[in-house]
A = this chain, B = another copy of it.
Amino acid sequence: MQGDDLSEALTQPLDLLGRLQPVIFSHCSLDAQRPVLVGFSGGPDSLCMLHVLWQSGLNLIVAHLDHQLRPESADEAQSVTELAEGWGLPVIIERQDVKEFSERQAMSIEEAARMVRYRFLFSEAKHRGAQAVAVGHTADDQVETVLMHLLRGSGTSGLRGMAYRSLPSSWSQDIPLVRPLLGTWRADINAYLEANHLTPFQDPTNLDVRYYRNYLRQELIPDLEKTHPRIKERIWRTADVLREDYAVLETMLAQAGEQTLLLRGEGYVVLDRRIFLAQAPGIQRGLIRRAVDLVRPGLRDFDFEMTQAALDFARSPSRSGKRDLAAGIGLFLEGDGLWLVARETDISSAAVSGHRLPSISPGSELRIELPGIFPLEGNWRLAVVWVDDLQAVIRDALANTDPYVAWLDAARLQFPLVVRARRRGDRFHPLGLEGHSLKLSDFMINVKIPRRARDSWPLVISNREIAWVPGYRLAETFRVTPASRAVIRLSLEHSEE
């Protein structure tokens, strides 16, 4: 070791603690009182971070996720507990089957690990009232992230890399994600660990596409450094500038997002396609990215081509069609609503233009023996009422504007009534249609029942015949005529509570 290197190795680590004080308290905005939840893998970066934060007098909670992907992971979890206890810090160890999760969610194991980890960290942070979640990304990680995005194709949102403090993040609207080591190079971290006699796990649970990172670390970046000695600093600062540029973009994006968002639920987002298409292309792209982030928070495997595919669909959708994007996200159009939906989400009853849709699980049946009020799924209920005042029926029917109310000739109706979803082969003879019945599926298309709702649309059946398609049409057979003596009033009602 040369004299200069030696002196640097000796002074740098001591300096690091001092140099990081403004980062911790200003850039990351941490305070010394409220607890900080520290994501701790046991690798060099998180070990250095934990030590620095601890030395800075912060109130810390150590959180470690055992991903159960390697045999030694349980032992490592045990070591984490011992280390934390040795430093007098509370520790949370969680074990999760990441492999199973990745299969269920149709995502890569790396992506799944990341998602499980962050969900764990933020759920614990919330539970413990932490002021922030801290993770150990370094300046080298930042440079690698930018290069990775560049080599794979990206926009400003990818090339800008990570921030010292992210709020809101994909993971939380109110708990910030902080990265105290984002401006610290790996070399300084290693020197710090050595000077402080800290020993990280040799092969920690670092699941970031390892091969790719190694290519960047060991081949591309050293190669670039031969011709551009300051390349890492330059890329780091480029990310810094892009982050500022993107912050401006985000203010416009937030505005456009408010105007464009029609509907949002667990696992789905609906955008107003007309307003969407009126935006600048850069905003459209950002809106797709945000929608994907609402449907699958924190997803990274959604690249340029997929954003483009989503944009292409939005611009010229196949009206009847549906487009499967990456990561189990589907895209389809319903009226002017552009839906982005996670594969596992049941949207059959999701509201549209303010109206929730009724639904009944395909395969189930509700049998109604007598008039009365019967609960259905999702706060819907069916009211079946005897009416014998024919004059009143005529008056009410004429004034009625609610498609979820119908009057049927009681003499034709046969109890028990059955409420069920459609079945293969169902036919229907709508009131007023000349001639005979038609396929129920054709009827549903004709009257524009949203495709996603058709399979679970409740039908009222009397003696194996579809008597009523609530919201749309009565069957010819059951219509009230001047000859009707008694009438049954059916109504499908939704209550908000």
Q: Is A483 in contact with chain B by the CB < 8 A criterion?
A: no
CB neighbours (8 Å) of A248 from chain B are 249, 252, 280, 282-283
- Size of interface on A: residues with Cβ below 8 Å to B: 38
CB atoms of A280 and B247 under 8 A apart:
yes
Which of A19-27, A131-139, A188-196, A229-237 is the contact stretch? A229-237
Say yes or no: A153-B234 contact (C-beta < 8 A), given A159-B159, A241-B285, A285-B244: yes
A164 CB, min distance to chain B CBs, angstroms:
14
Closest residue on chain B to residue A303 by CB atoms: B234
A304 to B281, CA, bound (A): 27
A456 to B224, CA, bound (A): 52
A283 to B246, CA, bound (A): 10
CB neighbours (8 Å) of A238 from chain B are 150, 153-155, 159, 304
Q: Is A1 in contact with chain B by the CB < 8 A criterion?
A: no
CB neighbours (8 Å) of A228 from chain B are 151
CB atoms of A245 and B282 under 8 A apart:
yes
CB atoms of A235 and B156 under 8 A apart:
no
- Map CB proximity to B onto A123-156 as digits: 1 under 8 Å, 0 otherwise: 0000000000000000000000000001111111
A285 CB, min distance to chain B CBs, angstroms:
6
CB neighbours (8 Å) of A235 from chain B are 150, 153
CB neighbours (8 Å) of A304 from chain B are 234, 237-238, 241
CB atoms of A280 and B252 under 8 A apart:
no
List 29 A-B pairs, Cβ < 8 Å: A150-B150, A150-B234, A151-B231, A152-B234, A153-B235, A154-B238, A155-B238, A155-B241, A155-B245, A156-B156, A156-B245, A156-B246, A159-B238, A159-B242, A215-B227, A220-B224, A220-B227, A238-B304, A241-B282, A241-B304, A244-B282, A245-B282, A248-B249, A248-B252, A248-B283, A249-B249, A251-B252, A251-B280, A252-B252
